[in-house]
């Protein structure tokens, strides 16, 4: 994570310029949770807590990470209706999960909706290793990533996802579409840690 990236996102949260937070849980997550028994989830880049709120309403317990304090504050305000034992929020870098001893080592589900695809390439390997080490056997990882485009440094091509995460996780499916907010192709990926 670079200081410039953190400063940029901090400014966007402060100004309310957060197009990534529609306040609506993506249908891919809603559908997934409809078929899964509740357990422990980790939301990487949790933002204002929209997905965490949906998880908690479905009986899950959830931890959320974001590197912007304003995002953590917004998530905390959104989740106050739930028991404090059901969730935890951390201001932390998603590439340094091993530096946060309070995180579990056996999540049933890890979610990343548009966080990892903006990482510095030097951090991607550590990010992938951390996710694999935090999932329990049979645990799922749901990833949303835009595809690379000429006018942006953000994005992962499907082959990059397969190469980076496929060493430790099995790709169950990829669903391609278009992200209308940025005018670019994007994909959802569902991966599982082998049992």
Which tens digit of pLDDT belongs to each residue from 77-127?
A: 999 999 999 999 999 988 889 999 999 989 999 999 988 888 888 899 999
Expressed as residue numbers, the domain containing 113 is: 39-192
Q: How confident is the model at residue 18 (pLDDT cuts 50, 70, 90)?
A: low
Q: CATH code at 149?
A: 3.40.50.150
User: Is residue 128 one of the residues assigned to a domain?
Assistant: yes
User: Is residue 126 one of the residues assigned to a domain?
Assistant: yes
User: Is residue 166 one of the residues assigned to a domain?
Assistant: yes
Question: Could you tell me how many residues make up the chain?
Answer: 195
10 by Cβ neighbours in 10 Å (0-12 / 13-18 / 19+) ranks as: middle
Total Cβ atoms within 10 A of residue 166: 14
User: Is residue 150 one of the residues assigned to a domain?
Assistant: yes
How far is residue 146's CA from residue 20's CA, in Å, rounded to a whole number?
12
Q: What is the pLDDT of residues 125-177, one digit of tens each?
A: 999 999 999 999 999 999 999 998 888 878 899 999 999 999 999 999 999 98
User: Is residue 28 one of the residues assigned to a domain?
Assistant: no
- Residue 175 pairs in a beta bridge with 188
Q: CA distances (Å), 95 to each of 27, 41, 44, 100, 150, in order?
A: 26, 17, 10, 11, 25
From the list 111, 191, 124, 132, the residue with the least C-alpha distance to 156 is 124
pLDDT of residue 153: 79
In the chain, the number of structural domains is 1
HSE of 192 in the Cβ direction (CA atoms, 13 Å)? 7
User: Is residue 3 one of the residues assigned to a domain?
Assistant: no
User: Is residue 102 one of the residues assigned to a domain?
Assistant: yes
User: Is residue 2 one of the residues assigned to a domain?
Assistant: no
Look up the pTM and report it.
Answer: 0.89
- Residue 167 pairs in a beta bridge with none
């Amino acid at each position: 994570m670079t200081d410039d990236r953190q400063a940029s996102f901090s400014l966007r949260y402060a100004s309310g310029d957060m197009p990534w937070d529609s306040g609506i849980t993506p249908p891919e997550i809603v559908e997934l949770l409809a078929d899964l028994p509740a357990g422990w989830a980790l939301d990487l880049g949790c933002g204002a807590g929209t997905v965490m709120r949906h998880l908690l309403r479905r009986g899950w317990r959830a931890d959320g990470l974001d590197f912007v304090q304003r995002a953590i504050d917004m998530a905390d305000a959104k989740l106050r209706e739930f028991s404090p034992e059901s969730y935890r929020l951390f201001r932390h870098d998603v590439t340094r999960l091993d530096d946060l001893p309070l995180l579990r080592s056996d999540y049933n589900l890890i979610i990343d909706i548009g966080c990892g695809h903006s990482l510095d390439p030097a951090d991607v390997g550590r990010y992938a290793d951390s996710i694999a080490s935090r999932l329990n056997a049979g645990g799922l990882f749901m990833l949303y990533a835009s595809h690379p485009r000429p006018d942006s440094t953000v994005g992962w091509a499907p082959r990059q996802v397969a190469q980076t995460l496929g060493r430790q996780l099995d790709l169950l499916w990829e669903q391609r579409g278009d992200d209308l907010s940025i005018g670019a192709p994007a994909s959802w990926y569902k991966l599982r840690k082998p049992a």
